[in-house]
Amino acid sequence: MKKLDGKIALITGGGRGIGRAIALAFAREGAAVALVARTATEVERVASEIEEECGVETLHAACDVSDAASVGRAFARLAEKFGRGCDILVNNAGIAESAPLSKTDDEMWQRHLAVNLSGTFYCTRAALPRMIERGWGRVINVASIAGKTGAPYIAAYAASKHGVLGLTRSAALEVATRGVTVNAICPGYVDTDMTTRALANIEAKTGRPAAETLEAIKRMSPQGRLVTAEEVAAVALLLASEEGRGITGQAINVDGGSVLF
Ligand code: NAP
């Protein structure tokens, strides 16, 4: 018996990076996985990879989590394929851009709130009723240590991730007696495309070589390294499993000790 046998997991942003690692970790424990992101080819590729390696059922769909109608269509596809909603929802889709506050335009501000915060809200709202009905559910929000602390040039990102923690804590208390847990994971810098893009962006804007910024980022962690997507996935697996049932309303750092609260 595997940890997630019989469970259906929906993972947003499942086309690469942390979302892909979580989908693989869940499928290896027997879960059927549904992957959504805007880039259809990426979720399709990860779904094929998972079917081949794990032999579980998969679904992949193009979906923009910042668009409530698009989220509604993805959940309709899920119900069509599996006959019910998801048991486990991982709100992982996210974007991260940086700019000084005075140069953060309305579009950039709204984009972060729309994808990182409203996207988490739309998917959670769509998933919770079926979880409550079945008396079992897991919502796992991939936030960030930027949901707990601030840093220069990331006001829009940090504000959206702080919002995710507020949503997590309130939702957790609302469904605490219904067999449903709601938690957040707060990674530090993870070795994914998002970090590579951030380094390239800094190089383009300031001329500071990406390799130099990477070393500076590593030094910010007491462990002197980036976190891996697999390390984030391992925490997601604990939260998703039966053994994680007593953990709710938490925001768990996976950051090598950078933030101690
Ligand atoms: P990534 O490699 O850039 O992957 C992000 C995923 O989200 C992609 O699949 C992307 O696919 C999807 N996505 C973006 N906008 C979307 C939208 N509007 N609708 C649906 N899907 C969307 O980033 P990652 O590093 O794996 O990050 C995953 C999560 O971890 C994010 O929430 C991020 O904020 C958080 N996080 C990352 C780090 C880090 O250092 N990498 C640190 C802390 C927290 P499409 O572009 O095709 O839509």
* 3-state secondary structure at position 154: coil
pLDDT digits (tens, 9 = 90+) for 47-87: 999 999 999 999 999 999 999 999 999 999 999 999 999 99
CA 231 → CA 61, 191, 238, 258, 261, distances in Å? Answer: 26, 11, 11, 15, 19
As for ligand 1, residues whose beta carbon falls within 6 Å of it are: 12-13, 15-19, 37-39, 42, 63-66, 92-96, 115, 142, 144, 187, 189-190, 192-195
**Nearest 5 degrees, angle CA 117-CA 27-CA 4?**
90
157 is catalytic: yes
Query: pTM for the whole thing?
Result: 0.99
DSSP 207: -
Please give the structure tokens belonging to residue 43: 């979720």
- The pLDDT of residue 246: 98
Q: What residues contact residue 224 under an 8 Å CB cut-off, 6+ apart?
A: 218, 256
Average pLDDT over residues 186-215: 97
The pLDDT of 132-144, averaged and rounded, is 98
Q: What is the pLDDT of residue 164?
A: 99
Label residue 126 by pLDDT band (50, 70, 90): very high
Pocket of ligand 1, candidates 10, 11, 12, 18: which has the most ligand atoms within 8 Å of its Cβ, to mutate? 18
- Can you give the pLDDT at residue 11? 99
Residue 260 has a pLDDT of 98
pLDDT of amino acid 76: 98
Q: Which domains does the chain have, with CATH numbers?
A: 8-188+229-245 (3.40.50.720), 189-226 (no CATH)
Percent of the chain with pLDDT over 90: 100
What pLDDT score does 159 carry? 99
Q: What is the pLDDT of residue 97?
A: 97
From 49, 92, 115, 254, the mutation candidate for ligand 1 (largest count of ligand atoms within 8 A of CB) is: 92
Tell me if 180 sits within 8 A of 134, measured CB to CB.
Answer: no
